Structure 1
Amino acid sequence: MRVIKNYIYNAGYQILLMFTPLITTPYISRVLGAHYTGINEYTNSWVTFFYLIGQMGVILYGNREIAYHRNDDYKRSKTFWEIELLQACTISVSLIAYLMAVFVFSSTFKEYFLLQTLWIIATAIDVSWFFMGMEDFKKTVVRNTIVKIVTIALIFLVVKSSDDLWKYIILLGGAQLAGNLTLWPYLRKLVHWVPLRDLHPFQHFYPAFLLFIPTITTQVYLVVNRLMLGHMVTPADLGNFTYADRLVKLILAVATATGSVMIPNVAQKFANHDILGVRESLYKSFDFVTAISVPMALGLTAIAVKFAPWFLGNQYLQTGTIMMIEAPIVVLIAWSTVTGNQYLMPIDRVKEYTASVTAGAVVNVIANLFLIYWYKANGAALATVISEFTVTAIQLWCIRTTISRRRLFKSLWKYFVCGALMYLAVHAVNLWLPMNILTLAIQIIIGVIVYVASVWLIKAPVVAMAKELLKK
């Protein structure tokens, strides 16, 4: 039950994170204008680089280590203070380096660069990884959700013209800082003071750094397509790809919300030498994300062509096609979230996880060179699918000796058959009716009914999981 509740909390928050830009972007783009919006994006991209380096792999590493020692009060407290001290040190170095870069190399936008330092300070006091390790997602999600909603309201109330760019930057950075600060009072009952002489923070540097490599490599996926598109094709192609990618990632957030939820669960079982329990968690989680991601990918494909211009405007006709091409990553990333984030990382097989992500990044760059040249934005979407397939395939190969891949994929056909039936029903509605909010609601309702009924009749494994949950 705890895992299911944590999944619901995390999935809801991921959706909120994805919807926030969709709510605020149309307003901010008009109020600030292209010039000042560009200044914010430019200065924020640089501060993001610095705080990611300062944070290293603490979010993933801290999550796992706290899960290992969750039931031992002294070890849990000692681990927390060591990792938090390490994070404070590395963030301090990153902050000093950032300020030096601003004062030495920045001749323009200096005041905006300085305001962006709020993001680095916020990262230094981020203890969300502790509560993830304790499998207590409610505190993190509820507090951050409240802060996020208040921030959205303040953006509409405070930011009124291009002269308010500084207010906008403070609101975003301040919201991150406030959200992180609100978690500290909850530590009093869970973490106790440990004498400074007993703390050895730098023993965590190397293992955290190993997790930092895939974290920073993953950023390649987020920026390389846009950088290469911006260099090789028109801004219109880049705009179409950006919005298509955001909409696909919105759907993806729900399917992959099990990632950070399952890391502490699996890590604790591994720490208790419950290898059978680790494997059972993998099988159930893989089946669960397949049951969710397959209909999401196929449903998105069914409505994409009409949905994109209706939601974004007629100038985004190409976005629908890009969404259809990129839709398979919903399933592929859902699978790699299980094999990588929920299995390889919690059981300390970080090198294999890093190798898979690095290979995906390399394939992504190479595929983009050719496919963007030939197919522009469609090529970038196809390159994303190829690179994600590479990551998933390598991770499946890495676990071949410890996991039964036959059992892993045993029921796969059931979800794809049910998903195909759902696709046909939703696509038929898409052909007959014009796209509007009512049509979208009808498509979602029909899709859910057809898919759930099909899964129930065909007796897919997720049905047994649902029955067990209802009994509890």
Structure 2
Amino acid sequence: MKIVKNYLYNTAYQLFAIIVPLITTPYVTRTLGSTGFGVYAYTNSVIQYFVLFGSVGISLYGNRLIAFDRDDRERLSSDFWSLVIMRGGTIALAYFAFILYLLCVHQYRVEYVFQSIQIIAVIFDISWLFMGLEDFKRTVLRNFAVKLISTVAIFVFIKSPSDVGKYILILALSTLIGNILLWGFLKNRINPIKSSNITFLKHFRGSIVLFVPQISMQVYLVLNKTMLGSIDGVQSAGYYENSDKIVKVSLTVITAIVTVMMPRMANTFAKRQFKQLNSYLYQTLDFVTFSSILLTAGLAAVAPTFSVWFMGDAFSITGRLIPVLALVGPMIAWSTVLGSQYLVMTKKEHQFTISVTVGAIINVIVNIPLISLFGVMGAVIATVIAEFCITLVDIYYVRKAISDFKGFEGKWKYLVSGIITFIVVRVLNSSVPGTFPWLILQAVVCVITYFIICFIQRSSFSSVIINSVQRYLRRDRTER
């Protein structure tokens, strides 16, 4: 029941996180223009490297550590304060490195300074504590409040292309304020700090193990925008940023279940309940496969008209980028479940590191020639190739860990459903106006078509839904 409750909390926020960009992105892209938004995307991609190196893998490591510690308050408090102080030191070093970088650049200095607030914000980020405790209510309420305030601020203060700095400042300050707010929920959860209980060495080693894969992940997630800005111009970085944002924001509702399951998987593994562990894995994998293929089919089908309606004519090129980039949907869903939820939470960080490192290396190798030849489309293709390779390596290691692994049995049914759904909706998309009512109609047709085909094939998740509805109806009749 707690898993369901946490998933509903997390999904409610993820839905809100989707609605906010639906409101702000059309306004921001039209107000700042492709160049202004490109400046934001490019400078943000650079600042993420300093955020990454200052974080040293603590978020993922801390989430798992707290899940192991949560039944021992003394050890929990000791580990919490050790991680907080350690991250404070690494962030100080990262900000010093940023100042050195700022002295060497001559373009977008003001924008970089505003973006650097994100580095400082990391010091106060303790969301990993509440995730490890499976208390998603705190982080969700915090995120709701911050998103709401920042959304209002965008409409109040962003009025012209010259307001790029204000836009960056609003987003960075909202991150900082949101992180600070979480500290108000520490009471009765963590004991006061004791210097005698502070340890750094073991935690530094543990976080570094998870830091290496995060470096690799950041390479192929952020490097694309950095390379596009340097090779093809900041406009291309803006095109990629918006295409990527639409796909990734849509995926957050699906991967919300993984965020909820990570501490539960870690705790189950610590108790050596391996049969239950595998059951959690199969259930999550089935859900994300069903959902991500539906998402991919829908996004790819409506992209040509949706991109112009959503972002304006200046971003019409994203109508060609999104269908290709949407292919990463199932791959990200699978690699998140197999990598972050299973390999990391069962202390197989080495295998997880190899998978994302392979993806990062391949991304770098193919990025330069593909961007040089095809511009922003080259970066999109490179992303798809990298995600495909990561997923393959994750599958390989999970199959080694689980000798009779059956996670992909029957999943071809979802693929067939997705292909047919894509064809139906794309034909509809090409024959109707690109207006909001017609886009809503296409979304409804997409979902209904996909569900019907899954039902006809008796796919596993559609059977779960049908059985759940039948049990609910029987219970309702019994109560009457």
Q: TM-score, normalised by structure 2?
A: 0.87
- How is 1:56-95 mapped onto 2 (pairs within 5 angstroms)? 56-95=56-95
Contact 2:293 2:414 in 1 (8 A): yes
- SS for the counterpart of 2:399 is coil
Return the letter of the residue paired with 2:296. A
Shift of the alpha carbon at 1:380? 2.6
2: CA distance between counterparts of 1:409 and 1:107?
51
Residue in structure 1 matched with residue 440 of structure 2 by the alignment: 441
Q: Which moved more, 1:341-350 or 1:50-59?
A: 50-59
Distance 1:149 1:63, change over 3 A: same
Residue in structure 1 matched with residue 358 of structure 2 by the alignment: 359
Shift of the alpha carbon at 1:183? 1.3
Return the letter of the residue paired with 1:134. L
Residue in structure 2 matched with residue 178 of structure 1 by the alignment: 177
Residue in structure 1 matched with residue 213 of structure 2 by the alignment: 214
2: CA distance between counterparts of 1:456 and 1:26?
36
Distance 1:226 1:92, change over 3 A: closer
Distance 1:392 1:162, change over 3 A: closer
2: CA distance between counterparts of 1:417 and 1:349?
33
1: CA distance between counterparts of 2:234 and 2:389?
29
Is 1:399 aligned with 2:403?
A: no
1: CA distance between counterparts of 2:406 and 2:11?
27
Q: Which moved more, 1:192-201 or 1:61-70?
A: 192-201
Contact 1:251 1:330 in 2 (8 A): no
Residue in structure 2 matched with residue 292 of structure 1 by the alignment: 291
Return the letter of the residue paired with 1:460. S
Residue in structure 1 matched with residue 154 of structure 2 by the alignment: 155
Return the letter of the residue paired with 2:364. V
How large is the Cα RMSD of the aligned pairs? Answer: 3.0
Gaps of 5+ in 2: 476-480
2: CA distance between counterparts of 1:303 and 1:445?
12
1: CA distance between counterparts of 2:135 and 2:234?
43
Residue in structure 2 matched with residue 334 of structure 1 by the alignment: 333
Residue in structure 2 matched with residue 412 of structure 1 by the alignment: 411
Contact 2:41 2:237 in 1 (8 A): no
- SS for the counterpart of 2:365 is helix
Shift of the alpha carbon at 1:26? 5.3
Return the letter of the residue paired with 1:214. P
Q: Number of residues paired by the alignment?
A: 471
Return the letter of the residue paired with 1:95. Y
2: CA distance between counterparts of 1:374 and 1:98?
32
Q: Deviation per CA, 1:439-467: give whole Å up to 9, x if none.
A: 11111112222222333343322245444
- How is 1:97-246 mapped onto 2 (pairs within 5 angstroms)? 97-99=97-99, 102=102, 105=104, 113-160=112-159, 168-193=167-192, 195-233=194-232, 239-246=238-245
Gaps of 5+ in 1: none
Q: Deviation per CA, 1:314-370: give whole Å up to 9, x if none.
A: 454442222222222101111001110111110111111111111101111222233
2: CA distance between counterparts of 1:266 and 1:326?
30
Residue in structure 2 matched with residue 262 of structure 1 by the alignment: 261
Return the letter of the residue paired with 2:224. N
Distance 1:383 1:197, change over 3 A: same
Contact 1:19 1:250 in 2 (8 A): no
1: CA distance between counterparts of 2:41 and 2:304?
29
Contact 1:15 1:250 in 2 (8 A): no
Q: Which moved more, 1:219-228 or 1:393-402?
A: 219-228
Distance 1:312 1:28, change over 3 A: closer
Q: TM-score, normalised by structure 1?
A: 0.89
Distance 1:214 1:17, change over 3 A: farther
Distance 1:246 1:134, change over 3 A: same
Distance 1:157 1:370, change over 3 A: closer
Contact 2:77 2:190 in 1 (8 A): yes
Q: Deviation per CA, 1:234-258: give whole Å up to 9, x if none.
A: 6665554443333222322223223
Shift of the alpha carbon at 1:180? 1.2
1: CA distance between counterparts of 2:161 and 2:236?
27
Contact 2:250 2:295 in 1 (8 A): yes
Q: Which moved more, 1:20-29 or 1:194-203?
A: 20-29
